[in-house]
Structure 1
Amino acid sequence: MKDEELLEEVEAFQKLLIDYSTGGDVEGKEYKRLRRDLLSNPKVKDELPEFIQNCRSLRQFWSFIKSESGNYEGRRRFIWSEFAPVLNKLEGGLESPADDPITEALASLDAGHVDRIWHKALERKEKDPEGAVTAARTLLESVCKTILDEMEIDYDDKADLPKLYHQTADELNLAPGQYSEELFRKILGNCQSVVGTLGAIRNAHSDAHGDGKASYKPASRHAELAVNLAGSMAMFLVRTWENASESA
Structure 2
Amino acid sequence: MSELIEKVLSIQELLIARAMDEHHQGANDTFLELRNEIIAIKSLSQYIPSILKNSRSLDQFSEYLKYNFNSYQDCKNLIYNEFNELFDVLENLDTTPLDQLVISTLDKLSSDYIHQIWQKALERRNSDPEGAITIARSLLESTCKHILDDMQIDYGNAPEINHLYRLVSNELNLAPSQHTEKVFKQILGGCNSVVEGLGALRNKVGDAHGQGKKNFKPSARHAELAVNLAGTMAVFLFSSWNLKNE
1:169 paired to 2:161: no
In the other structure, the counterpart of 1:232 is: 232
Q: Deviations over 1:221-248 (max 9, x none)?
A: 10000000000000000000011111xx
In the other structure, the counterpart of 2:20 is: none
Pick one of 61, 79, 82 that aligns with 2:81.
79
- Secondary structure of 1:218's counterpart equals coil
Distance change (3 Å), C-alpha of 1:77 and 1:222: same
Amino acid at match of 2:245: S
Distance 1:78 1:192 in 2: 49
Distance change (3 Å), C-alpha of 1:111 and 1:185: closer
Distance change (3 Å), C-alpha of 1:110 and 1:233: closer
Amino acid at match of 1:233: M
1:1-248 equivalence runs, <5 A: 74-83=76-85, 109-110=109-110, 117-246=117-246
Distance change (3 Å), C-alpha of 1:207 and 1:77: closer
Distance change (3 Å), C-alpha of 1:48 and 1:226: same
- Secondary structure of 2:125's counterpart equals helix
Q: Which ranges in structure 1 are unaligned for 5 or more consecutive residues?
A: 1-42, 50-68, 89-105
Distance 2:89 2:216 in 1: 33
Distance 1:111 1:159 in 2: 24
Q: Which ranges in structure 2 are unaligned for 5 or more consecutive residues?
A: 1-42, 50-70, 91-105
Distance 2:243 2:187 in 1: 19
Distance 2:122 2:243 in 1: 26
Alpha-carbon contact 1:117-1:138 (below 8 Å) kept:
no
Distance change (3 Å), C-alpha of 1:87 and 1:196: closer
Amino acid at match of 1:79: N
Distance change (3 Å), C-alpha of 1:113 and 1:243: closer
Question: Displacement, 1:209?
Answer: 1.6
Distance change (3 Å), C-alpha of 1:220 and 1:180: same
Amino acid at match of 1:244: K
Distance change (3 Å), C-alpha of 1:157 and 1:114: farther
Normalising by structure 1, we get a TM-score of 0.58
Distance 2:205 2:89 in 1: 32
Distance change (3 Å), C-alpha of 1:75 and 1:142: same
Distance 1:122 1:232 in 2: 13
Normalising by structure 2, we get a TM-score of 0.58
Distance change (3 Å), C-alpha of 1:83 and 1:111: closer
Distance 1:208 1:82 in 2: 31
Aligned length: 166
Distance 1:188 1:173 in 2: 10
- Secondary structure of 2:82's counterpart equals helix
Alpha-carbon contact 2:122-2:227 (below 8 Å) kept:
yes
Alpha-carbon contact 2:110-2:238 (below 8 Å) kept:
no
Off by >4 Å, runs of 4+ in structure 1: 69-74, 83-88, 110-117
Alpha-carbon contact 1:114-1:142 (below 8 Å) kept:
no
Question: Displacement, 1:182?
Answer: 0.7
Alpha-carbon contact 2:111-2:238 (below 8 Å) kept:
no
Question: Displacement, 1:129?
Answer: 0.4
